[in-house]
């Protein structure tokens, strides 16, 4: 089995009855930046942020597009919205002692980052101090095994693992609200999310929505501390497995 340190290593288990993948990242190498976008189909200022996220280089960033649900109260429901994503954004606001939540908001490695307005890419990060390994089996219901190991065990005391499954190539014809009449295109949309999970021996069953297309899906795993700091990030395309 070959492994590529830094971002991912994905190998199909051809003899397995269900799709399987192994993904790993080693310490001592620069890791991808974790970029979170909080957005909504009901927000007229969000499409430029969606487009910016879509253009980020996959080799240097792991992108998560969280659709929040508080725009749904204005008469149009975003089909990708989830109250859990709103709560995650609220946690971000409390962490930064902000005055409230808003869209679009970009969070870079656990910190709000207004630099996306200038259209640039996030800067590189220092070598990671933790290694991570992810094992995935299953199809619509994914069984995920996740281990994160720090070079110095004490550094990981307050970190926890998280798992997101994203989908690319999505589009919505908006028929009401601020974006009425627009065809909005999305990549990196979070379709499933799990965490916080233990660092060592974490196991999670992650069920994809019935309308999710696994051929356009990516699993993103990351280790995060309560103050937002990110220790390691691993991305694995699921499209290469079980097809």
Range of the domain at 63: 20-237
Query: Would you say residue 13 lies in a domain?
Result: no
Number of domains into which the chain is organized = 1
pLDDT band at 121; cut points 50, 70, 90: confident
Q: How far is CA 177 from CA 63, 105, 182, 195, in A?
A: 26, 19, 10, 32
Query: Would you say residue 172 lies in a domain?
Result: yes
What are the counts of helices (DSSP H) followed by strands (DSSP E) for the chain? Answer: 2, 14
Once rounded to an integer, what is the mean pLDDT over residues 7-36? 67
Could you give the percent of the chain with pLDDT greater than 90?
A: 68
Query: Would you say residue 3 lies in a domain?
Result: no
| Mean pLDDT estimate for the chain | 87
pLDDT for res 75: 65
Once rounded to an integer, what is the mean pLDDT over residues 182-208? 95
Give the model confidence (pLDDT) of 63-78 as tens digits: 999 999 999 876 678 9
Query: Would you say residue 14 lies in a domain?
Result: no
Q: How far is CA 38 from CA 20, 128, 202, in A?
A: 30, 25, 26
- CA proximity to 229, closest of 116, 95, 106: 95
CA-to-CA distance for 153 and 86, rounded, in angstroms? 32
Query: Would you say residue 70 lies in a domain?
Result: yes
Residue 35's DSSP bridge partners are 63, 108
């Amino acid at each position: 089995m070959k492994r590529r340190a830094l971002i991912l290593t994905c190998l199909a288990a051809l003899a397995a009855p269900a799709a399987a993948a192994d993904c790993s990242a080693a310490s001592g190498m620069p890791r991808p930046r974790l970029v979170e976008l909080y957005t909504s189909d009901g927000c007229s200022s969000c499409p430029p942020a969606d487009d910016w996220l879509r253009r980020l280089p996959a080799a240097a960033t792991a992108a998560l597009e969280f659709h929040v649900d508080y725009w749904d109260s204005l008469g149009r429901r975003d089909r990708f919205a989830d109250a859990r994503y709103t709560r995650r954004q609220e946690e971000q606001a409390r962490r930064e002692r902000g005055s409230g939540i808003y869209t679009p908001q970009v969070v870079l490695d656990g910190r709000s980052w207004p630099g996306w307005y200038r259209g640039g890419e996030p800067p590189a990060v220092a070598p990671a101090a933790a290694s991570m390994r992810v094992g995935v089996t299953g199809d619509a219901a994914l069984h995920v095994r996740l281990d994160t190991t720090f070079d110095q065990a004490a550094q990981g005391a307050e970190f926890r693992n998280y798992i997101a499954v994203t989908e690319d190539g999505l589009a919505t014809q908006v028929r009401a609200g601020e974006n009425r009449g627009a065809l909005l295109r999305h990549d990196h949309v979070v379709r499933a999310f799990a965490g916080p999970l233990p660092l060592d021996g974490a196991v999670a069953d992650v069920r994809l929505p019935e309308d999710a297309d696994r051929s356009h899906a990516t699993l993103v795993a990351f280790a995060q501390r309560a103050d937002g700091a990110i220790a390691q990030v691993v991305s694995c395309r699921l499209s290469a497995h079980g097809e």
